[in-house]
């Protein structure tokens, strides 16, 4: 599956933004999905994940309560709704997909970049103070 993130841009502190991840080839069906981000000068970090069923979601502590991950398998699209954006949210955001049918114990493995086999080009989000 090939992925493309979009929706990034320049926003002010406190604003909202919605990122999208679309599949240009293949489908999201039955795959765990996730968002990661990489801030300037920092390593790539986990943001949010959603299980292949869509029933379970996981968030980094830094975004919990502000960001929401969702998926629409009918349109092969995943979303990240960012509310109350902060300057520390400034980063390139990447979407990632797992191989189909995977289940992990513990589910915290969904927060690891190494779990995901497919990662697409990112979209830049800049939050001004």
Task: Name 25's bridge partners.
Answer: 2
pLDDT of residue 24: 82
pLDDT of residue 25: 81
Mean pLDDT in order along the chain per 10 residues (129 residues): 94 98 88 96 96 96 98 95 98 96 92 88 95
DSSP label at residue 99? P
Phi-psi region of 117 (alpha: psi -120 to 50; beta: other; left: phi over 0): alpha
Give buried/exposed letters for 59-90 (b at 16+ CB in 10 A, else e).
Answer: bbeebeeebbbebebeebebbbebeebeeebb
Is residue 36 within 8 A of residue 52, CB to CB? The reply is: no
Chain centroid, CA 103 distance in Å: 18
DSSP states along 23-46: EEES--TT--EEEEEE-TTS--EE
């Amino acid at each position: 599956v090939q992925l493309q993130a979009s929706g990034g841009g320049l926003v002010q502190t406190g604003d909202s933004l919605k990122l999208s991840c679309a599949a240009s080839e293949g489908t999201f069906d039955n795959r765990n999905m996730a968002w990661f981000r990489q801030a300037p000068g920092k390593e790539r970090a986990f943001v949010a994940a959603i299980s292949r069923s869509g029933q379970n979601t996981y968030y980094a502590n830094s975004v919990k309560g502000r960001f929401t991950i969702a998926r629409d398998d009918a349109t092969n699209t995943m979303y990240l709704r960012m509310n109350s954006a902060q300057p520390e949210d400034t980063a390139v955001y990447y979407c990632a997909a797992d191989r189909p049918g995977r289940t992990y114990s513990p589910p915290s493995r969904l927060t690891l970049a190494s779990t995901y086999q497919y990662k697409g080009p990112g979209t830049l989000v800049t939050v001004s103070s």
